[in-house]
Amino acid sequence: MRLLGDLSGKKVVVVGLGASGKAAARALAGLSASVTVVDHAKSDSLLEIARLLEPLGIKCHLGGIPADVMRGAEMIVMSPGVPTDLPEVVAVRGSSVSVIGEMELSYLLCDCEFLAVTGTKGKSTTTRLLYAMLSEAKEEVIIGGNLPGMPLCDRVLDLSPDAKVVAEVSSFQLETIEHFKPHIACITNLDVDHLDRYDDLSEYHEAKLRIFENQTEEDFLVINGDDRRLRELARGARSKQMIFSANRVSNLDGAFLESGIIVLRRNGEVKPLISRVDVRIPGLHNIENVMAAGVMAAAAGVSCSAIGKALRNFRLAPHTLEVFTEIDGITFVDDSHATNSLSVRRALEAFHKPIIIIMGGKDKGCDFRELLPVAKKRVKAVIAMGEAGPRVRTELGDDLLVVLNKGEITDVVAEAKSLAEAGDVILLSPGCSSFDMFADFRDRGKSFKRAVFNIFSGEDGRHDKSQ
């Protein structure tokens, strides 16, 4: 293990009892630390998790964070969803207690090489693509991090030092790193997101840029060559930079789209990876994700043939531009994972049919007016729902047909049906988080699908191509 030393009897407090906190607590208890988990919430689901952790010797305090527990800690591990300015944490920060995040802990718990992906959008798909490429090359590799339900803490302990960890890393996780140093890091792009957590855009971007702050000349940084702001901000990196670009071919090392072929340039040598038409996931943004993952895989030593084979077999994860059925000539797309305006824009760009888009949810502060240049060309109507629905209507209603629906998802889908005809796309791409109406984005996507089959066919799942 990197730098942690003997944890036997060490008093560790894990803040937050979500999936990451639970994984961190289990890993630390397995190393004989004295572990206490605290959480302000006290739901039935958290009480059940606490009950399962108690036989492992893990204490749980729910419904508040006791000051004496925090004062007695020798190490505090923050779950990524917990704000770092939590008063109970601020009160002990600066003392002898070490405050780190769950991603930092995962890194410290093993000696493996990390390949890490961050960015405003595309990081999940790029991470999954990279994992597929390394798997095709028969590497010992695991995937996890910010991906739903895939924390790394309790999975890295059994890996050999030669294994590779492919990690999606969020800005929240990067806020609490100290030593985290991926050998190969990627920033897919920088745009507007999470202004409900950060004071301004620069603060959000600074968190993202921490992914390369500990890298050295022996490491690699892969960036989007078409993102001018990102290129400027990454100038201070010490690592070797490689780029990917769908818009221009460069003499720099990286991946490029040239005459419909994705090519890889390394040390002056250019090799084809795959034809664009053979990439089976829609949208130019996914071509960018393919190139980003391909550059990372090549830097990790994966052959072009293995990269190409992985790409030909790759499919998107559920709830990410998932074309899940067609009924009466109408195409239905579940893009519930789209939680900011950049991802919505990319979803709109992926389809060349009239679109009825369902937007809204818990407001994250994104500027929906940024969608207008592409939306005015492709959107037939907007159904605005949830907490952010009124703002969606205010910001888009002067230029587009926007219908505010204050009902449940079934009502929203029924509204979309009333506006749709054969040849249209009904697209759930909310541009907001899900927590005003749903448990998470997966629950939102599943609820959308159920509503579609109930309303359009009356026979749950009969038309479902994903079964």
Q: Which of residues 283, 313, 343 is at a domain's end?
A: 313
Tokens 């003392």 correspond to what residue? Answer: 95
Q: What is the pLDDT of residues 375-407, one digit of tens each?
A: 999 999 999 999 999 999 999 999 999 999 999
| pLDDT at residue 461, as a whole number | 38
Distance, CA of 197 to CA of 439 (rounded, Å): 19
| pLDDT at residue 250, as a whole number | 83
Same-domain check for residues 159 and 268: yes
| pLDDT at residue 467, as a whole number | 32
Distance, CA of 173 to CA of 410 (rounded, Å): 35
Same-domain check for residues 118 and 249: yes
For the record, the structure tokens of 55 come out as 């036989």
| pLDDT at residue 30, as a whole number | 94
| pLDDT at residue 194, as a whole number | 55
Q: What is the pLDDT of residues 419-447, one digit of tens each?
A: 999 999 999 999 999 989 999 999 999 99
Same-domain check for residues 134 and 241: yes
Residues 6+ apart with CB under 8 A from 319: 334, 335, 336, 337, 441, 442, 444, 445
| pLDDT at residue 1, as a whole number | 65
Q: Are 191 and 120 in contact (CB under 8 A)?
A: yes
Q: Which of residues 71, 96, 121 is at a domain's end?
A: 96
Domain that holds residue 61: 11-96
Same-domain check for residues 185 and 278: yes
Rg (CA), the chain: 23
| pLDDT at residue 96, as a whole number | 79
Of 56, 306, 339, nearest to 197 (Cα)? 339
Q: How far is CA 325 from CA 322, 348, 450, 461, in A?
A: 9, 18, 12, 9
| pLDDT at residue 465, as a whole number | 39
Same-domain check for residues 188 and 307: yes
In a domain, 466, yes or no: no
Kindly tell me the burial class for residue 6, based on how many C-beta atoms sit within 10 Å of its own C-beta (0-12, 13-18, 19 or more).
Answer: exposed
| pLDDT at residue 300, as a whole number | 97
φ/ψ bin of 431: left (φ > 0), alpha (ψ from -120 to 50), beta (otherwise) = left
Distance, CA of 5 to CA of 12 (rounded, Å): 14
Tokens 């907001």 correspond to what residue? Answer: 432
Same-domain check for residues 139 and 254: yes
- pLDDT tier at 285, thresholds 50, 70, 90: confident
Segment 356-370 mean pLDDT: 93
Residues 6+ apart with CB under 8 A from 268: none
Distance, CA of 191 to CA of 242 (rounded, Å): 20
Q: Are 331 and 426 in contact (CB under 8 A)?
A: yes
Same-domain check for residues 90 and 159: no
Residues 6+ apart with CB under 8 A from 446: none
Number of domains in the chain: 3
> What CATH number does residue 60 fall under?
3.40.50.720
Kindly report the pTM of this predicted structure: 0.75
Q: What is the pLDDT of residues 312-325, one digit of tens each?
A: 989 877 898 888 89
In a domain, 1, yes or no: no
Same-domain check for residues 112 and 73: no
- Strand (E) or helix (H) holding 86: none
> What CATH number does residue 431 fall under?
3.90.190.20
How many Cα atoms occupy the beta-carbon half-sphere of 307 within 13 Å?
26
Distance, CA of 322 to CA of 335 (rounded, Å): 6
Same-domain check for residues 121 and 210: yes
| pLDDT at residue 61, as a whole number | 96
Kindly tell me the burial class for residue 200, based on how many C-beta atoms sit within 10 Å of its own C-beta (0-12, 13-18, 19 or more).
Answer: exposed
Q: Which of residues 96, 126, 153 is at a domain's end?
A: 96
pLDDT at 355 over 60: yes
For the record, the structure tokens of 239 come out as 């690592």
Tokens 């991906």 correspond to what residue? Answer: 147
Distance, CA of 162 to CA of 42 (rounded, Å): 41
Segment 131-138 mean pLDDT: 96
Same-domain check for residues 127 and 209: yes
Helical H runs in 176-239? Answer: 201-209, 228-233
In a domain, 194, yes or no: yes
pLDDT at 120 over 50: yes
Residues in the chain: 467
Segment 263-291 mean pLDDT: 91
| pLDDT at residue 53, as a whole number | 96
> What CATH number does residue 303 fall under?
3.40.1190.10
| pLDDT at residue 213, as a whole number | 96
Bridge partner list, 64 = 39
Distance, CA of 64 to CA of 361 (rounded, Å): 28
For the record, the structure tokens of 156 come out as 């890295």
| pLDDT at residue 346, as a whole number | 83
φ/ψ bin of 155: left (φ > 0), alpha (ψ from -120 to 50), beta (otherwise) = alpha
Q: What is the pLDDT of residues 256-274, one digit of tens each?
A: 999 999 999 998 899 999 9
Segment 284-295 mean pLDDT: 94
In a domain, 467, yes or no: no
Same-domain check for residues 32 and 61: yes
Distance, CA of 439 to CA of 360 (rounded, Å): 15
- pLDDT tier at 453, thresholds 50, 70, 90: very high
Distance, CA of 118 to CA of 169 (rounded, Å): 5
Three-state DSSP at 142 gives: strand
Q: Which amino acid is at 400?
A: L
Q: Are 441 and 336 in contact (CB under 8 A)?
A: yes
Helical H runs in 43-122? Answer: 44-53, 67-71, 87-90, 102-108
- Strand (E) or helix (H) holding 330: strand 330-334
Tokens 């159904």 correspond to what residue? Answer: 383
| Least confident residue range of 7-21, 144-158, 288-302, 412-426 | 144-158
